[in-house]
A = this chain, B = another copy of it.
């Protein structure tokens, strides 16, 4: 590319678009399917497939521990995993404002390619548009995975007596983004990670997993309330059992934030059959990105749709989904 920044001509669909695609995207993402440059990719499917999509608008696009490129692959891969699918194919759509720096774009695209390799997915289709503006950009990813016949993981499957596990510490991504924006040097790094190995291990070990959900925008509180509502069950969790890194806890204390409503990008909540709970915890702890996993509570059915948080001093409070603004553009 001769230019340093994106201009409207890169969105023409003509020779400049072609140059952008070839030099920035194709060189990093190349594989036999994508190289065909067809209107759509034809790939091997399966009897049941999982499909998902997410757009990523995080600011800043690079942050401690990750970037929007790693984030967009992780987010989509994790959404597929939460249904017990094996993530296979990713599409990506770039919306670039005029003025995006080519160097930054190259780093992000490289990070996407690396993360896709780590997660074992192929990027099989893409699209680029250029709009007016001042150098921001957005990435949409969609994903397709294959679901084995015997897998049935969904919110409605949570049962009375099930045990609730989280795969690690809460709030890391949120705290990392916020400290970048506030230019505070906190040593908090984003947890953005693909949970492929963790979910694969749970399935291989035949853990009776009823529900999985990745804990992103809205945080653990929002996710639990959504799951309790969808299943018509009651979630009881103990505040002191919810893992939070000390550095994140300190950061939250300083700013009056509640880790319960802070987003992560590489953590899941697993609702598993009680008899498998200890084994599930062990499997997660022994998986990549799962070393801080913990059992945080249990599922009952005495108050359908409620999430009850037991506090350290013996109180109880009912959690709702996140109210109000939250942190804008966290993912």
State the A residues within 8 Å of B (CB).
Answer: 8-9, 11-18, 36-57, 78-80, 82-83, 85, 89, 91-95, 124-133, 136, 138, 140, 142-147, 154-156, 213-214, 216-218, 222, 226, 230, 261, 263, 320-326, 328-329
Question: With A52-B40, A130-B328 given, is the CB distance from A15 to B322 under 8 Å?
Answer: yes
- Interchain CA distance A298-B93 in the complex, whole Å: 34
Which chain B residue shows the least CB distance to A154? Answer: B38
Assess whether B155 is in contact with A51, with CB atoms less than 8 Å apart: no
Q: How far is the CB of A1 from chain B (nearest CB, A)?
A: 16
Assess whether A51 is in contact with B55, with CB atoms less than 8 Å apart: no
Assess whether A46 is in contact with B45, with CB atoms less than 8 Å apart: yes
Assess whether A52 is in contact with B79, with CB atoms less than 8 Å apart: no
- Interchain CA distance A230-B180 in the complex, whole Å: 45
Assess whether A42 is in contact with B50, with CB atoms less than 8 Å apart: yes
In the complex this chain forms, how many copies of it are found? 2
Interface residue from B36, B42, B56, B57 paired with A48 (Cβ < 8 Å)? B42
Question: With A45-B47, A324-B9, A326-B14 given, is the CB distance from A95 to B92 under 8 Å?
Answer: no
Assess whether B50 is in contact with A41, with CB atoms less than 8 Å apart: yes
Which chain B residue shows the least CB distance to A38? Answer: B154
Which chain B residue shows the least CB distance to A214? Answer: B39
- Interchain CA distance A154-B39 in the complex, whole Å: 9
Which chain B residue shows the least CB distance to A55? Answer: B93
Q: A12-B322, A17-B217, A43-B51 are in contact. List 15 more A-B contacts (CB 8 A).
A: A13-B263, A13-B322, A15-B324, A36-B230, A39-B52, A40-B145, A42-B48, A42-B83, A51-B124, A51-B142, A53-B91, A53-B126, A55-B93, A125-B142, A131-B329
Question: With A146-B45, A328-B130 given, is the CB distance from A50 to B57 under 8 Å?
Answer: no
- Interchain CA distance A42-B154 in the complex, whole Å: 10
Give 17 CB contacts A-B under 8 Å. Answer: A8-B328, A13-B322, A14-B218, A14-B222, A14-B321, A17-B217, A39-B52, A39-B214, A40-B52, A42-B48, A43-B51, A49-B49, A52-B125, A53-B127, A53-B140, A133-B133, A138-B138
